[in-house]
Chains A and B, each alone.
Chain A
Amino acid sequence: LAKTTQPPSMEAYEGQEVNVSCSHTNIATSEYIYWYRQVPHQGPQFIIQGYKDYVVNEVASLFISADRKLSTLSLPWVSLRDAAVYYCIVTALSGSFNKLTFGAGTRLAVCP
């Protein structure tokens, strides 16, 4: 299973674009990249997933390098509500069971 490496913390001001990087140098061809975030006293919330290139939804964008060893979650115009721990997870889709291995994540602080 691929291991991921993220910066332990980041800081941004409201209105800024934030890019959270994730290194997964041993990612297998069968593995996808998932991003979740977790705010205090709540469970992790799914943000976005991708396999290669570029994925975008109403919340975030996900850029994946050509060799798939690096991904970057981009959050446009962050607000105080975006302060959370962001988790990058790499796992293979296996039908009914999708095991997610959560590391320590990146703690994003947002300043007014």
Chain B
Amino acid sequence: GGIITQTPKFLIGQEGQKLTLKCQQNFNHDTMYWYRQDSGKGLRLIYYSITENDLQKGDLSEGYDASREKKSSFSLTVTSAQKNEMAVFLCASSYNNQAPLFGEGTRLSVL
């Protein structure tokens, strides 16, 4: 079976710092997604990509950049970390009309 791997699992940053989160999938899925989840809340879509080098903004793209240089990987950059920010960033991938599958998440804390 396939797997979605997110690195790092935990990320501690400083205010104003640029931080990069990585996601790899070996399902050979076309579409990849980045979601943000705040404590006790649902998920919000930041960016998605339907193929290599494609990028589409989601509902929460401001303050983030993304990169899809290979079909198997999708990176998310927090362009300027906000003080006291705490959230979980979830990567997902999907193929055609199948339900997206999720990774375990990267937990971000900003000091």
Contacts and interface: CB of A to CB of B under 8 A. Distances in A.
24 contacts: A34-B99, A41-B105, A42-B104, A43-B90, A43-B102, A43-B104, A44-B43, A44-B90, A46-B100, A46-B101, A49-B99, A93-B97, A96-B96, A97-B31, A97-B48, A97-B56, A98-B97, A99-B48, A100-B43, A102-B35, A104-B40, A104-B41, A104-B42, A105-B42
Contacts of A101: 42, 45
A64 to B, nearest CB: 16
Interface of B: 4, 30-31, 35, 40-45, 48, 50-51, 56, 58, 90-92, 94, 96-105
Contacts of A42: 104-105
B103 A43 contact: yes
A12 to B, nearest CB: 21
A43 B92 contact: yes
Interface residues on A, range: 20 to 34
Given A97-B31, A104-B42, A43 B105 contact: yes
Contacts of B43: 44, 100, 102
A45 interface: yes
Nearest to B107: A41
A103 B42 contact: yes
Interface string A42-54: 1111100100000
A87 interface: yes
A39 to B, nearest CB: 10
Nearest to A107: B40
Given A43-B103, A87-B42, A95 B96 contact: yes
